[in-house]
Chain A
Amino acid sequence: MLTNLILILVVLSNLKLLASSRLGAAIRVVAAQGVALGLLPILAHREPLAAHALLLAAGTITLKGVVFPWLLLRAIREVHVAREVEPFVGYSASLGAGVLILGISFWMCTRLPMPASIASSWLAPVALFSIFVGLFLIAARKRAISQVLGFLVLENGVYTFGVGVTSRTPLIVEIGVLLDVFVAVFIMGITIFHIQREFDHTAAAPAGEGKD
C-alpha cells in the first residue's frame, strides 16, 4: 500500500517537473522524489528489514535528498543563470507529452512479462515513465542544469525498476550505481561552472551554433 503511495508521488512529481518553470523549484521536486524513492527499498521488501536495505535507503536519501540539491542549488547561485528553465517545448505541451508517455508506459508494461515476486504492479510502468520523462527533460530543456535534473530523473527510473523488480539486489551494485550518479552530478556541476566562466552562458544550444 505504502509502496503504491510512493509510486504515485513519483508520477506526480514527474508531472510537476514537466510543468515547472523555475529551476529552484525543479531541483527541490527532484530532491523530494529522491527521498521518496529512498524509502522504497525498505517498503518493497516483504521479508524482515535487512541491514543492506537500510544502508541503501540511508545512502540514497543522503545523496539524492541532501547532497545533490545542495550542489545544484549552489551551482545556480554561483553561476547567476536566469532562474527559468527555458524550454524548447512549452509547459502545457510538455504536460500533454507526459500524460501520453504515462499512457504508453502502462500499455507497454501490460505486454511485459513480469516476475511473480514484484512488489507492486505499478512499479514497472512508473519506472519506465520516469526514464522517458528524464529523456524528455534532457531533450526539451535548454539549460545545462535541467539536463542534469533530467539525468537524475532517468536514473531514478532505473533505480525504481532495480529495487522493485529484483528481489535481492546486491548491495554492491546499488552502491556502485549511486557512486556513478554522484560522480556524474559532481562533474556536471563543476563543468557547468567552468563553461559559464569561459563562455558566459550555460545554454547547451546557443541559437544556430554548435554544429561540429
Chain B
Amino acid sequence: MTLLLAALALLLGGGMIVLATSRPHRDCSWLAAGVVVVAAIVGGIPAVQVLAGGTVSTLHWPWAVPFGQFALGLDPLSAWFLLPTLLLSALAAIDGADYRKSGPEPRSLGPVWFFYCLLVLSMVLVVLARNAVLFLFAWELMAVASYFLVTVEHERPEVRQAGWIYLAATQVGTAFLLALFLLLARQTGSMDFTVWAARGIPTGGWAAVLFVLAAIGLGTKAGFMPLHSWLPEAHPAAPSHVSALMSGVMIKTGIYGLLRFLTFTRTPPLWWGWTFIGIGMTSGVLGVLWALAQHDLKRLLAYHSIENIGIIALGMGVGMLGWSTGSAPLMVLGFGGALLHVLNHSLFKGLLFLAAGAVLQQTDEHDLDHLGGLLRRMPWTGTAFLIGAAAICGLPPLNGFISEFLIFLGALRGAALAPGAVAVSLLAVVAGLGLIGGLAVACFTKAFGVVFLGTPRSESARTAAEVGPAMIGPMLILAAACILIGLLAPWAVGTLPRVLTNLTGLPTAAIHGGLAGAVGPLLAVVAASAVLLVILGLLVLWRRRLLSRQVMATGTTWGCGYAQPTPRMQYTASSFAQPLLSWTSAVLGGRRQLTAPNGYFPAAASLHTQTPDPLHPDLYRPALDRVGAGLARQRWLQPAAVQLCILYIALALLALLIWKFG
C-alpha cells in the first residue's frame, strides 16, 4: 500500500511540477512521461504481488468530508484493473511525449500533462477506493480530467461540441451513481464498501432498483448501447494517446464498478443476466455495424470500443446466469472471459488508437478515403496495426481470441446443461458472438486495407513517413503483449482464479474445476497456432529463397493490368462496406447520395454515404430540446443583474430568520 500511495503522490506532485514549470514543451512532455512511467512501475509492483498471491492490503485514513473516509484497498479484483491501467498509462504517455498540439502557434503542454497525470491518478483511485464518497470523488475527478483532455484542441468547434456531449453524458451517469450510493447507504447505514459487501443487498424490489441504477450510472461510462453517444464524439476529438487511455482503460472503470457492485449482491435473479446479455448483444452487434459505416479512423475505433464492451457485457451476462442457476463452470467461464477481455481490449485498443494517432500525425487526414498505401511508408505502424486488428477481431493465436473463446465455451457448456429459457439465451450469446466476430473481421479488413494497402489516395498519404521510436516502441510492446497472451493462453487463464474467488466468492476448487475445462481446448488451440506460425515462417523463408535468384519488378498495388491506373480506381472504404451496409440499412439508417453512371460513356458518377448515430439526432436531441424549452419558461426567475441575485439571497435570509425567530 505504501508503494501505491507513493505512486499517487508521484502523479500528483509530478503533475503540479509540470504545470508550474514553463519549460519548452518537449522537455515538459518528457518530464511528465517520465513521471507517469515511474509511477506506473512503482504502483505496478503491489498489483502484481496481489495477483500472484500476496496479501490483500487496506488503508483507512480519516478524511474531513461528511461520511467520507480515505479508505483504499487492493484486492485481486482491483489489481486486475489496476495493472492494465498503469501499463497503458505509461505506454500512452511515452507515445504522447511526441505529441504536438495542432493549432496556430505551439503552446505550452503543461496543462495537458497535468490533466493526464490527474486522469491516471483518478483511475487508480477509482479502482482502489473502498468508500462511496471517495469513489465518487475519484469518479468525478476522472470525468473532469478527461473532459479537459478531450478538449485540448479546443480551437476547433467540433472538439468543443464533443467535449460538451461528453461532459453532459458523464454527469448524467454520475447522477444515477449518486442515487445508487445514497440508497445503498440508506439501507446499510454505511458508506463503506466493505460493510456493503459484508451485509449484502437483500434480493427483491430494492435490489432491482439498485441494479438498474448501477447499470445506467456505470454503463454510461462503459458505453453500453443506448448510453454510448459520447464515445464516438469524444474519442476522435481527443489527442490520440488520450483516446488510447480513455478507450483502453477509462471506460473499463464502468465495468469495474459493475463487478464491484456484484460483490455487494447475493445471488442475482435470472433477469439480471438476461439484461446484460441483451445489452451485450445490442452494443456488440450495433457497435460493429456502425463501425463498419464510419469513414473516420478514430470514430471507427470508438464504435469498436462499444462492440468490445458489448462482448464484456455478454461474458458478464453468462456469468450472472451461471450465478443464478448455481452453475459454477458457467460462472467461472463467463466472468473469466469478461475479465480477460477487459485486459485484452485495453491492450489491443490502446495499440490501435496509438497506431491511428501515428497515422493521423503523419498525414493529418481523418478520412479513410484519403489514405492508402501506408504499409510501405510506415512499416512498423502498419504491422502493429495489423496485429491489433487481428487481435480485436478475435483471431487465433492472438489474445482477443482467448477471452472470446472462454465466453463461447461457457455459453456452449451452459446451453447443453441449463434448463430451457437459459439455454436459449446462451445459444443466442453464441450466435451473437459469432456475428460480432465476423463483422469485426469485415470492418478491420476495410480499415487496414484502405489505410495501409493499395496506393495513396492523397498527397499527404504519399509523403507520409514512419513515426519516431517514442511512438513505435509503445506500439511494439502492446503488440508483443497481444501475441504473448495469445500464445501463453493456458497460463494467462491461470492468473484468473484469485480474481474470480474475489468476485464470486466461490470455493477455489470449484473455480479451478471450471477453468480446467477450458485449459484443454486452449492448449490444442495454442498448439495448432504454433504449428501454423511455424508453417507460415517456413513459407516466408521458402518464398525468399525462390525469389532470391529472380529479377523482381515492383508494380502499382491493385493495378489490375490497366495501362494507366489511378488511385481513384481502388476500392474505397465506402465501396468496401457497401454490400454489408445495404443489407443492414434498415437497422442503421444513414443517408446515401448516388449519382449513377449513365449511358455508354458515363462522364460523372458519385456516391456519398453517411451514417450518423441515430440516437443522437433522433432520441437525445429532441428530448433534451424539450427539457431545454421547459426550463426556458422558468427564465423569468433568473435575474438579469448581480444585484437582483444578492437581493434574492438577502430576502431569503431575512425571511428564514423571521420565520425561525418570529
| Cα–Cα distance between A177 and B641 once the two chains are bound (Å) | 27
Stretch with Cβ within 8 A of A (4 or more), from B385-393, B612-620, B646-654: B646-654
Q: A132-B650, A211-B638 are contacts. A139–B644 as well, Cβ < 8 Å?
A: yes
- The answer to whether A132 touches B642, judged by C-beta atoms less than 8 angstroms apart, is no
Q: A204-B643, A210-B640 are contacts. A139–B661 as well, Cβ < 8 Å?
A: no
A9 on the B face (CB < 8 A) = no
Stretch with Cβ within 8 A of B (4 or more), from A28-36, A114-122, A140-148: A140-148
A112 on the B face (CB < 8 A) = yes
- The answer to whether A112 touches B650, judged by C-beta atoms less than 8 angstroms apart, is no
Q: A108-B657, A108-B658, A108-B661 are contacts. A88–B643 as well, Cβ < 8 Å?
A: yes
Q: A112-B661, A132-B654 are contacts. A205–B640 as well, Cβ < 8 Å?
A: yes
A136 on the B face (CB < 8 A) = yes
Q: A108-B658, A132-B654 are contacts. A138–B646 as well, Cβ < 8 Å?
A: yes
| Cα–Cα distance between A131 and B166 once the two chains are bound (Å) | 42
- Chain A residues lying within 8 Å of B646, measured Cβ to Cβ, are 135, 138-139
CB distance from B638 to the nearest CB of A (A): 7
Interface centre among A108, A139, A141, A208 (most CB of B within 10 A): A139
- Chain B residues lying within 8 Å of A171, measured Cβ to Cβ, are none
| Cα–Cα distance between A208 and B641 once the two chains are bound (Å) | 9
- Chain B residues lying within 8 Å of A147, measured Cβ to Cβ, are 642-643
- Chain A residues lying within 8 Å of B650, measured Cβ to Cβ, are 132, 135-136, 139
- The answer to whether A138 touches B640, judged by C-beta atoms less than 8 angstroms apart, is no
Interface size class for chain B?
10 to 19
| Cα–Cα distance between A205 and B635 once the two chains are bound (Å) | 17
A131 nearest CB neighbor, chain B only: B653
A128 nearest CB neighbor, chain B only: B657
Q: A104-B654, A108-B658, A108-B661 are contacts. A139–B640 as well, Cβ < 8 Å?
A: no
- The answer to whether A140 touches B640, judged by C-beta atoms less than 8 angstroms apart, is no
- Chain B residues lying within 8 Å of A210, measured Cβ to Cβ, are 640-641
Neighbour of A139 across the interface among B638, B643, B658, CB < 8 A: B643
Neighbour of A205 across the interface among B638, B642, B653, B662, CB < 8 A: B642
- Chain B residues lying within 8 Å of A132, measured Cβ to Cβ, are 650, 654
A46 on the B face (CB < 8 A) = no
Interface centre among B640, B649, B662 (most CB of A within 10 A): B640
- The answer to whether A135 touches B638, judged by C-beta atoms less than 8 angstroms apart, is no
Per-residue CB contact flags for chain A residues 129-169 toward chain B (1 = under 8 Å, else 0) read 00010011011111000010000000000000000000000
- Chain A residues lying within 8 Å of B635, measured Cβ to Cβ, are 211
- Chain A residues lying within 8 Å of B662, measured Cβ to Cβ, are 111
Q: How many residues of A contact B (CB 8 A)?
A: 20
A109 nearest CB neighbor, chain B only: B661
| Cα–Cα distance between A140 and B651 once the two chains are bound (Å) | 13
| Cα–Cα distance between A141 and B638 once the two chains are bound (Å) | 19
- The answer to whether A142 touches B643, judged by C-beta atoms less than 8 angstroms apart, is yes
CB distance from B519 to the nearest CB of A (A): 64
| Cα–Cα distance between A209 and B642 once the two chains are bound (Å) | 12
B639 nearest CB neighbor, chain A only: A211
- Chain A residues lying within 8 Å of B653, measured Cβ to Cβ, are 135
Q: A132-B650, A136-B650, A211-B638 are contacts. A205–B661 as well, Cβ < 8 Å?
A: no
A139 nearest CB neighbor, chain B only: B647
Per-residue CB contact flags for chain B residues 133-175 toward chain A (1 = under 8 Å, else 0) read 0000000000000000000000000000000000000000000
- Chain A residues lying within 8 Å of B641, measured Cβ to Cβ, are 204-205, 210
- Chain A residues lying within 8 Å of B644, measured Cβ to Cβ, are 139
Interface centre among B643, B647, B650 (most CB of A within 10 A): B643
B653 nearest CB neighbor, chain A only: A135
CB distance from B654 to the nearest CB of A (A): 7
| Cα–Cα distance between A83 and B640 once the two chains are bound (Å) | 24
- Chain B residues lying within 8 Å of A88, measured Cβ to Cβ, are 643
Neighbour of A211 across the interface among B640, B643, B658, B661, CB < 8 A: B640
- Chain A residues lying within 8 Å of B638, measured Cβ to Cβ, are 211
CB distance from B636 to the nearest CB of A (A): 10
| Cα–Cα distance between A108 and B650 once the two chains are bound (Å) | 15
| Cα–Cα distance between A88 and B644 once the two chains are bound (Å) | 11
- Chain B residues lying within 8 Å of A112, measured Cβ to Cβ, are 661
- Chain B residues lying within 8 Å of A136, measured Cβ to Cβ, are 650
Interface residue ranges of A178-212 to B (CB < 8 Å): 204-205, 208-211
| Cα–Cα distance between A141 and B647 once the two chains are bound (Å) | 11
CB distance from A55 to the nearest CB of B (A): 27
A105 nearest CB neighbor, chain B only: B657
CB distance from B660 to the nearest CB of A (A): 9
CB distance from A141 to the nearest CB of B (A): 7
- Chain B residues lying within 8 Å of A211, measured Cβ to Cβ, are 635, 638, 640
CB distance from A152 to the nearest CB of B (A): 14
| Cα–Cα distance between A88 and B635 once the two chains are bound (Å) | 22
A residues with CB within 8 A of B: 88, 104, 108, 111-112, 132, 135-136, 138-142, 147, 204-205, 208-211
Jot down 19 A-B pairs with beta carbons below 8 A, ordered by A: A88-B643, A104-B654, A104-B658, A108-B657, A108-B661, A112-B661, A135-B646, A135-B647, A135-B653, A138-B643, A139-B646, A139-B650, A140-B643, A141-B643, A204-B641, A204-B642, A204-B643, A209-B640, A211-B640
**Which 6 residue pairs are nearest across A and B when measured between Cβ atoms?**
A205-B641, A135-B650, A139-B647, A111-B661, A138-B646, A211-B640
